[in-house]
Chain A
Amino acid sequence: GAVVSQHPSWVICKSGTSVKIECRSLDFQATTMFWYRQFPKQSLMLMATSNEGSKATYEQGVEKDKFLINHASLTLSTLTVTSAHPEDSSFYICSARGGLEKLFFGSGTQLSVL
């Protein structure tokens, strides 16, 4: 299947700092990427839809100024968690659409905010 690379795999930061997570589609072009958040032993919660060359669409309850998404090319989308706080600690996962419906996921980023 298609490969989606996500970096970093884990990050620890101090409260108040910003963290950037990258998501790359390695062997296909992805006009649409999705960002999810997952708490322990829970399902994936869609945060936003990232479309290349346009503004991201955020799900209800997700602060767009808190979670900045940039999709500047067909193979790269970034999620920046601004002014991170301990409650932002979570597992963040990106996915990229390869073809009409198939979604391929990155390996996830475990964010821990101290």
Chain B
Amino acid sequence: GENVEQHPSTLSVQEGDSAVIKCTYSDSASNYFPWYKQELGKGPQLIIDIRSNVGEKKDQRIAVTLNKTAKHFSLHITETQPEDSAVYFCAASSPDDYKLSFGAGTTVTVRA
């Protein structure tokens, strides 16, 4: 099955700086890579996703890049704000069953 690894497990950044989270996946057949933000006591919220036919996608301060050859993808948050503090999960799914395999999560803390 798919195995997704996520780094770092924790990330502390100064407000206004950028945050980068990296994930690798094992199944070359995976073709859909979403990122979720989870606040304490709440369910994960989809913030951005990318498909394997695209190398980069951007939505305001959030961007995701995908390197299919190396089987890794990254989340970039620019101009971080305190409200960006949360746990972020990357995930990958294959076209066979659309099940999502999640990374272990990254706790992001934005210092004011």
* Partner-B contacts on A (CB < 8 A): 1, 4, 6, 32, 34, 41-44, 46, 49, 93, 95, 97, 100-108, 110
The answer on a CB contact under 8 Å between B46 and A44 is: no
Q: Which interface residue of A44, A93, A110 has the most chain B CB atoms within 10 A?
A: A44
Would you call the interface of chain A mostly helix, strand, loop, or mixed?
strand
Would you call the interface of chain B mostly helix, strand, loop, or mixed?
strand
Task: Please pick, from B41, B43, B104, the residue contacting A43 in the complex, using a CB distance under 8 A.
Answer: B104
CB contacts (< 8 Å) of B32 on chain A: these are 101
The answer on a CB contact under 8 Å between B100 and A103 is: yes
A32 to B93, CA, bound (A): 15
Task: Please pick, from A44, A46, A49, A110, the residue contacting B44 in the complex, using a CB distance under 8 A.
Answer: A44
The answer on a CB contact under 8 Å between A107 and B93 is: no
CB contacts (< 8 Å) of B100 on chain A: these are 34, 46, 103
